[in-house]
Structure 1
Amino acid sequence: MRLAKKWEEIVVASELESRVLRKISWRIVPFIMLLYFIAFLDRVNIGFAALEMNKDLGFSSTVFGLGAGIFFLGYFLFEVPSNLILDKVGARIWIARVMITWGLISGLMAFVQGVAGFYILRFLLGVAEAGFFPGIILYLSFWFPARRRAAVTAIFMAAAPLSTALGSPISGALMEMHGLMGLAGWQWMFLIEAAPALVFGVVVLFYLTDRPEKAKWLTEEERAWLVATMADEQKAKGAKAHHSIWAGLADIRVLALALVYFGTSAGLYTLGIWAPQIIKEFGLTSLQVGFLNAIPAVMAVIAMVIWARHSDQTGERTWHVVFACLLAAGGLAFASGAGGVVTVLIALTLVNIGISCSKPPLWSMPTLFLSGPAAAAGIATINSIGNLGGFVGPSMIGWIKDVTGGFAGGLYFVAGLLVLSAVLTLVLARSAANTPDTANTNAAGQHP
C-alpha cells in the first residue's frame, strides 16, 4: 500500500513538473528567441551593409573590420555593470531599456558619413546592447532547473543562426532599395531593421515576468512547485556555491570559460560580419548572397538543438564543446582553400554547425558552480571577455585581407583560436576533476 501511494506521488509530481515546464517554456522561450533574433540581426547586419557601404564611404577592409569589431569594446566595458543592474532592478525594466537604446543607435547607422562616425556609433551600439545576452542567460537560470537548461539555452540561442537564416534574405532584399527617396540600400536596411528593437522594447515592459514568484499566469500549485524547485537547487549548492560579486569575477573557472568563449565568438562574428563578402567574391548580387548565406544557418539550427539535447541527456558538457570547436576550426580551414560557391557553402555550413553547437553546453557550465550576484557577475564576465573575440576575429581578418589580398590568412587565424578553445576546455575539465569541491559534480558528468 505504501509503495502504491509513493508511486502515485511520484506520478503526480512528474505530471506537475511536465505541466509547469511546458507552460513556462511556451510563455518565455519563443519571446526571448524573438528578442535575440532582433539583437543578433542588428549586431551583424553591418556585414550586408558592407557590400555597398564600404564603396560609398571609401572604407578599406581594415577600417571596416575594426569598425565592425569595435562594437565589442563597448560591450566589454559595460557588460558586467549592466548585468548586475538587471539582477537588482529585474529583467523586465532593464531589457526594455537595452532594446530601446540599441534600436535608436542602430537606426542612426543609416546616417554615418565617415570613419570617425562609423567607429563611434558601433562603439555606442555595443554599450547600448551590453547586458542583453548574459541577462537572458541569467534570466533562464531563474526559471529552468539546471538539468533542463542546456536544451532551453539551445532553443534560445538558435535565434542567432535563425537570424542569419531569415535575416540574410531580408537584408539582401532591403539592399535592393538603393535610390528610393534618395537613400542607399544599406541606409534603408539600417532604418527598417532598427524598428523592431524599438517596438519590442516597449512590449517587454508589459510581457516579461521578472521571477517565478510574480508569475500570475501560473496556478498557485504550479507557482509553488517552481519556486520550491528553484530554491532547492540553490540550497543544494550549499557551501560549494560562490555568492558574492567578487567570487563571480575572480573564479578561475569563470576566466577560463571566458577564454573558451573568446574563440567561439571570434568564429561566430567572423561568419556574421565577413561571410556575405566571402560569398560576394563569386560575383553574385546582394539578394543572391542573402539567400545563399541563409543555407549554413538553417543547418546549424537543426544541429544545435540535437546536440544540446544529447548533452542534457548524457549530462556531459566538456566533449560537446570540444568536438564542436574542432569542427568549426576545420570548416574555417576548408573555407580558406575553397574555390567555388558550393565548396564555400559546405565549409561555412561546417563552421556554422560547430560554432552553434558549442554554445549551449558551454553556457550550462557557469550556473553549476555560481549563484546569486556571483552568477550575474560570472556570466557577464564570461560574455564580456569572451565577446572580445568578436573584436579580434573580424578586425584581424580585415587587416590580414588588406595585407595579403585574400581571406585565407584571416580564416586560419580564427581557426587557431577555436583549436585553443577546445584545448582549454579539456584543461579546465581535467583541473575540475582534481578539485574536491567539484568531485560530485564531475561524477555526474556536469563539469565545466
Structure 2
Amino acid sequence: MADPRQDASGAGALGTATDALGIGTIRTITLRLMPLLGLMYLIAYIDRQNVSYAKLQMVGDLGLSEAAYGFGASLFFLAYFLFEVPSNVILERVGARVWFTRIMATWGIITILLGFSTGPVMFYVLRFLLGAAEAGFFPGVLYALTLWFPQAYRGRMVGWFMIASAVANAVGAAIGGALLDLDGTMGYRGWQWVFIATGVPAVLLAAVVFLILPDRPEKAPWLDAGQKKWLADTLAREEGGATHTDHGNPFRVLADTRVVLLALLYVAFPLAAYGLSYWLPTVVKGFGVSNTMNGFINIIPWICVALALWWVPRHAARTGETTWHIAGPALVGALGLILSVVLPGDAVKFACLCVAAAGIFSGQPVFWSLPPTFLRGATAAAGIAMINSVGNLGGFIAQNVVPWIGDVSGSKLVPMLFLAACLLVGVVMVFVVQGILKRRTLAEAGGLAPVRR
C-alpha cells in the first residue's frame, strides 16, 4: 500500500495533512479499509467477468449464438442501471456494513445458480438478477470514500481500489481457463465450475464484511478520538470552503446538468473496458492456445492496467491537473485498439491490446474525483450512482454490439475499431464537460455556502 504522506505533496493537498496526526490517521484508514474494499471489488469483478470464460463452452451447451450470449451477459448492466441509484440512497441511510453484506451475499448466491443454468431463459433471468443484486456496490464504495478521505486523497484511493479490478481480471484469467479444463469433474461441465467456484467466495466474504466493516469513521474502533476529530474537522473545512449541492430530495440530482453530462461522458469508459475484457479471451483463443494457456496469457494486460492505475492518479495528484489525466489515457487506449487491427503479427496485436487496456482503465480514478467536488451527502450518493449506472450502460452496449460486429465481419479484431471510436468521442467530451463544470463553478462561486435546491 502506498505511503499516504506522498499525497500531501499533491496540488490542493491539505496543509494539516502534513502533521503527525493527519499522516497517522490517513495511514490507519488506508491500511484498515482499502485491503478489504479491494478484496470485495476483486471478487465482484471476477463474478462480473466470469461469463467471458464460461462463454467458450456455454454457448454450445445452451445453443446460443455469440450475439444471443452477449445479450444475456449484458442484461447484468440493464439491471445495474435500473437499481443502482435506489441502492446507493439506501446505503446512505442504513450504512455500508449492512448494505455491502446484503449485496455480496445475494450476488454470490446468484453466481452459483448461474452454474446450473438449463437454458437461455434461465441464463437471461439470472444475469439480470445478478445486476440487480450487485447494483450500488461500486458507487457505494466511491461514496463511502468521501466519508473517510479528504479530497486530496480520493483519486489515489479510487486508483488503489480499481487496481483490484485489474487483479481480478488477472486472477479470473488464470482460474477461468483452469476451471474450464475441469470439464467432467464430478459430473459438471467446465463452465459450471467457473460459476460455482467464483460465487462461493462472495458468500463467505459477506460474513466477514458484516463483522469488521464500520459504517462511518466515528464508528471505527481502530481510530482514536483525536484521529476521528481530525478527520471530521478536515472534511468539514473542505465542505465550508467550496460550493456543494445538497438537494432536499436526493433523487432530484438526476436532473442536475453536471451529473447528466458526467454520466454521458462516462459511457465511453465502461463500453471500451467491458468490450475489451469480454472479447479478449476470444481474441487470444484465436492464437491457437489451450484454455489454461489462454487464461495465463490474459494475465499480462491486467498487469499493465494495474501499473497504469497506480501511476496515473499519483501523477494527477502531484500536478493538480485532471483533464489530461482523463483524456490522455483514453487517447492512448483508442490508439492501442486501432493499432491492434492494422498492425500484423499476433504478438504485436496482443501488445497493442495490453496498451489499450491500460489506457482505458487508468484515467477513471481521476474522473471519479470530480463529482465529490460539487455534491455532498445523500445527493452525492445518488449522483455518483447516477453517473455509474448510466455509464455502465456502455457495458450493455458493448456486450451486444461487439459480438454482433464480430459475427457480421467474421473478424475477432474489427470490433476493436468500434471501441476505439467510442473512446475518441469520450476524449472530446472530457474537454467539453470540464469546460462546462468550470464555468458552473465560477458562476456559483459568489456564495460559498452549500447550495440546497
TM-score range normalised by the length of the shorter chain: over 0.9
Report the equivalent of 1:446. none
Residues of 2 paired with 1:331 and 1:406: CA distance? 17
- The match for 1:118 is 123
> After the TM superposition, which of the residue ranges 74-83 and 211-220 deviates more from structure 2?
211-220
Q: What do residues 251-285 of structure 1 show as CA deviations (whole Å, max 9, x unaligned)?
A: 21111111121110011111221110111011111
Root mean square deviation, CA, Å: 1.7
The answer to whether residue 333 in structure 2 is matched with residue 325 in structure 1 is no
Q: CA deviation at 1:231?
A: 2.1
Report the Cα distance in structure 1 between the residues aligned to 2:18 and 2:307, rounded to whole angstroms: 31
Q: 1:432: Cα distance to partner?
A: 2.6
- The corresponding residue for 1:280 is 285
What stretches of structure 2 of length at least 5 have no aligned partner?
1-14, 447-453
Alignment-derived partner of residue 311 in structure 1: 316
Mapped pair 1:43 → 2:48:
yes
Q: TM-score, normalised by structure 2?
A: 0.92
Asked if 1:349 corresponds to 2:364, the answer is no
Single out whichever of 372-381 and 265-274 deviates more from structure 2. 265-274
8 Å contact kept, 1:260–1:424: yes
Distance in structure 1 (CA, Å) of the matches to 2:251 and 2:274: 30
**What does residue 176 of structure 2 align with?**
171
Q: Conserved in 1, the CA contact under 8 Å of 2:51 and 2:73? A: yes
Matched residue type, 1:119: Y
Distance 1:290 1:440 in 2: 52
Distance between the aligned counterparts of 1:340 and 1:423, measured in 2? 31
Report if the CA contact (8 A) 2:283-2:413 is conserved: no
- 1:222 aligns to 2:232 (yes or no): no
The reply on whether 1:15 has 2:24 as its aligned counterpart is: no
Using the TM superposition, give the Cα deviation of residue 331 of structure 1 relative to its aligned residue in structure 2, in angstroms. Answer: 1.6
Q: Point out where structure 1 has 5 or more consecutive residues left out of the alignment.
A: 1-9, 442-448
Match of 2:436 among 409, 431, 438: 431
C-alpha distance in structure 2 between counterparts of 1:227 and 1:166, whole Å: 37
Counterpart position of 1:74: 79
Q: Structure 1 residues 27 and 117 mapped into 2: Cα distance closer, same or farther (>3 Å)?
A: same
1:440 CA displacement: 6.8
Secondary structure, aligned partner of 2:57: helix
Q: CA deviation at 1:169?
A: 0.7
Equivalent position of 1:7 in the other structure: none
Q: Distance in 1 between matches of 2:75 and 2:427?
A: 25
**Residue deviations 1:150-198 (CA, integer Å, cap 9, x gap):** 0111000111111111221111111111101111111111101101100
Asked if residue 417 in structure 1 is aligned to residue 441 in structure 2, the reply is: no
Q: What is the aligned counterpart of 1:210 among 198, 208, 215?
A: 215
Asked if 2 retains the 8 angstrom alpha-carbon contact of 1:331 and 1:351, the reply is yes
Quickly say closer, same or farther: Cα 1:254–1:184, change in 2 above 3 A: same
Question: Which secondary structure state, in structure 1, belongs to the residue aligned with residue 182 of structure 2?
Answer: coil
Tell me, in whole angstroms, the C-alpha distance in 1 between the residues paired with 2:415 and 2:16. Answer: 56
Which segment drifts farther, 116-125 or 432-441? Answer: 432-441
Separation in 2 of the partners of 1:189 and 1:348? 25
Relative to structure 2, which stretch is displaced further, 399-408 or 417-426? 399-408
1:255 aligns with: 260
CA contact (8 A) 1:68 1:273 kept: no
Q: Which residue of 2 aligns with 1:293?
A: 298
Q: Percent identity?
A: 41
Residues 101 and 426 of structure 1: is their aligned pair in 2 closer, same or farther, counting only changes over 3 Å?
same
Question: What TM-score comes out, normalization by structure 1 length?
Answer: 0.93
2:432 aligned with 1:398: no
The AA in structure 1 aligned to 2:69 is F
Equivalent position to 1:271, from 276, 300, 324: 276
